[in-house]
């Protein structure tokens, strides 16, 4: 009898020990799983934070490259190397300064051959009585656009012979361009081989609520959602000029633009904050400097 009671008691104790051990093991396992899950979640969020930061940094650098490349060639396609053609003459454009008509902290309007297309004259052109220009190709040329011609001369030692022309296109044929509203040097005649280029007006809007936008005449295109930028205009000593820029400042002072691009991350960070990448680049306005030094 005593043996049976002792066996039953030992069995009950063992069963109790087993249950307690199981509960303890389950609790430890739960804690381990919870800690592992928390560590995994934190790790995943940390990875996403790094991806978010890297994406914003890459987009900011890409935007800076695109916009800086555009600003660097402001005035390209215009005969800025022609000493007898003054690009700062109000008659050359519909604004006092056709290279850079307007510039403030978040908006800049400039003129540039954005397509890079051009045509070479296949016959001499005398603007004193002609209004049709013969060219090798009219691809990219369109009515109501402005065309500039840079004259070439075999007598480069006599710089006074190098001229420039600006005119509005009225018609486009297979190998000819009709023009009006011609502005050029007095007595200029453009030789065979002279270069004709389309120059468009471009508007860069850094304060567009949808993101930095660029308008080349067909409506604004957002370069990247929710991006923004600020623009500072610098003289030869890197001093900031007040904006909007005046005619005198553009003609005699401004030499470069300091561009600051801001791009927010697409996701919030683990902390709940939004990461914003900023890239700053200074761009020399080479064509304006060239025109000023002629």
What pLDDT does residue 268 have? Answer: 85
What pLDDT does residue 155 have? Answer: 47
What pLDDT does residue 68 have? Answer: 93
What pLDDT does residue 47 have? Answer: 75
Residue 103 has phi, psi (to 5 degrees) of: -155, 125
Mean per-residue pLDDT pooled into runs of 10, the chain (294 residues): 51 56 59 55 67 90 92 88 74 68 91 86 93 92 90 54 86 93 86 90 93 91 93 94 88 92 89 90 89 72
* Nearest partner of 245 among 188, 288, 213, judged by Cα: 288
Global pTM reads 0.76
The Cα 293–Cα 64 span in angstroms is 28
What pLDDT does residue 23 have? Answer: 56
The residues spanned by each domain of the chain are 59-293
What pLDDT does residue 71 have? Answer: 92
């Amino acid at each position: 009898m005593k043996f049976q009671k002792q066996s039953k008691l030992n069995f009950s104790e063992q069963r109790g020990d087993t249950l307690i051990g199981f509960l303890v093991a389950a609790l430890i396992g739960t804690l381990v799983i919870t800690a592992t899950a928390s560590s995994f979640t934190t790790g995943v969020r940390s990875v996403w934070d790094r991806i978010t930061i890297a994406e914003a940094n890459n987009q900011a650098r890409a935007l800076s490259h695109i916009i800086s490349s555009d600003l660097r060639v402001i005035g390209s396609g215009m005969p800025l190397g022609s000493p007898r053609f003054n690009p700062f003459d109000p008659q050359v454009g519909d604004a006092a300064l056709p290279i850079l008509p307007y510039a403030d902290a978040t908006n800049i309007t400039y003129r540039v051959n954005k397509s890079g297309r051009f045509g070479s004259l296949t016959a001499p052109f005398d603007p004193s009585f002609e209004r049709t220009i013969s060219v090798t190709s009219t691809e990219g040329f369109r009515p109501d656009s402005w065309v500039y011609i840079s004259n070439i001369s075999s007598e480069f030692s006599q710089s006074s012979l190098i001229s420039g022309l600006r005119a509005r296109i009225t018609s486009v044929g297979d190998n000819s361009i009709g023009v009006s509203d011609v502005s050029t040097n007095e007595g200029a005649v453009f030789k065979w081989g002279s270069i004709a280029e389309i120059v468009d007006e471009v508007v860069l809007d850094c304060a567009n609520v949808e993101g930095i936008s660029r308008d080349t005449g067909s409506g604004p295109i957002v370069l990247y959602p929710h991006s923004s930028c600020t623009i500072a205009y610098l003289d030869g000593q890197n001093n900031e000029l007040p904006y909007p820029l005046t005619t005198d400042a553009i003609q005699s002072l401004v030499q470069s633009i300091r561009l600051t691009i801001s791009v927010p991350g697409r996701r919030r960070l683990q902390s709940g904050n939004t990461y914003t990448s900023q890239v700053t680049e200074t761009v020399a306005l080479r064509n304006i400097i060239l025109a000023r030094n002629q």
